[in-house]
Amino acid sequence: MPIFDEFIRADHSPRKPNEAEYTFLNRSARPTFAEVRRLLTEWAGQYPSSERNSLIKSMQAGDDHEFESAFWELYLHEAYRRAGYSITVHPEVPGSSKHPDFLIDNGESSFYLEAVRANIATRTLAEKRRLNDVHAVLEKLSAETFKISFAYDSVGLRPLATTKLRNQLTQWLASLDPHAVSAAFAGNPSRHTLPRLAFKEDGWSLTFTALPLRPDAFGKGGQLVGTFGPGRAAGVDNVTPLTRAVDAKANRYGKLDAPLIIAVMANTEYPTRDYDIQRILYGLSAAIPRQASKRPSELHQDGHWLTRKGWRRGHAPQVVTASNLKPWRVANVQPSLWTTLEPGVNIPLQPRWLAPVSVDTPEPTISPAQRINELFGLPDDWPSG
């Protein structure tokens, strides 16, 4: 079963709002994404044939969560394979009917590896889809003398009545003089001098800014929406979904005959900071983790490994993290390796492409690692274009 369909592609348009990652990759005629398809097809060819079809079906499901989860498993399989490790997919676990994603052996020791994508909260995901539906409607409008950018303060619980919004926008833009707006902006080049429209309806609060076109672009009918602002960032919470992901996997298989390593894909809407991951794993404290472990009762918040009662989960001693990893970014996202500081724990030997993280300083420190593009045999600027 091939991952992508075989046909002559002619669609060079960018990814549309709410368009699934797989759907976009499958239909895009851009040479950049042809390279991505070729690479993923090559990797799938190295995946065990008995497991390959199930993985590919997940990638083709049309759901970004399933696609990215399957892609993450494919990525990890290829990375460990290229590093010379022996890999068993969905191995049997003594005393359990459940199967981790991989059993990995390096000749000296073995460990189980469980891949997980941090889930976005259901409410957040639904809100994002409703917002992208608005964006998709606006993309159908053409720019005559202005483009617009928009940002949001709140998203309603129900889909927006886009006909009313479209009419208000059209009338507002028609009332503006592009020459006067351009002259005012030239005299005071600040976004605050540009015309704005506030739209509030049924729990929605959107703000639109008019951006005048150059006179030679008048009437040429380009896309109306120039930029789409992300809205409020103050309420962003990356800690909760990442905590949920590592905690659930650590307790899934009970007592194992080898260490369990959890590999987390953190494709959060706003970048996940190393400080957030340190807090998730070692708890929240004014001291660095090694010092905090001497007085664990003083922790402000329990972590995955270090709690106010001391260390735990020594059976799952390492966590691999990768942030904002997409199929077209495999050459420049370097996964990190976090390790518990609990004494006496069995720590597996990991490959050189994982960048070890030290938490013995106030801020986490990432050590050098084998460059990930070199591991995959890709040039620095992959994919081209």
pLDDT at residue 305, as a whole number: 97
pLDDT at residue 156, as a whole number: 81
Rounded Cα gap, residues 204 and 156, in angstroms: 5
Compute the C-alpha angle 131/133/134, nearest 5°.
70
**Burial level of 25, CB count in 10 A (0-12/13-18/19+)?**
buried
- CA end-to-end distance (rounded Å), the chain: 29
Structure tokens at 97: 């009917």
pLDDT at residue 241, as a whole number: 82
pLDDT at residue 227, as a whole number: 55
pLDDT at residue 232, as a whole number: 45
One DSSP character per residue, 138-187 reads HHTSEESSEEEEEEEEE--SS---HHHHHHHHHHHHHTS-HHHHHHHHHH
pLDDT at residue 230, as a whole number: 47
CA separation, residue 85 to residues 39, 72, 160 (Å): 20, 17, 52
pLDDT at residue 121, as a whole number: 52
pLDDT at residue 148, as a whole number: 82
Using DSSP, state whether 86 is helix, strand or coil. strand
pLDDT at residue 87, as a whole number: 98
H-run or E-run covering 375: helix 372-375
* Ranges of residues in the chain whose predicted pLDDT is under 50: 122, 230, 232-234
Instruction: Say if residues 280 and 272 touch (Cβ distance below 8 Å).
Output: no
Rounded Cα gap, residues 193 and 187, in angstroms: 9
Rounded Cα gap, residues 148 and 211, in angstroms: 6
Using DSSP, state whether 115 is helix, strand or coil. strand
Using DSSP, state whether 93 is helix, strand or coil. strand
Rounded (10°) CA dihedral 293, 295, 301, 307: 50
Rounded Cα gap, residues 261 and 258, in angstroms: 10
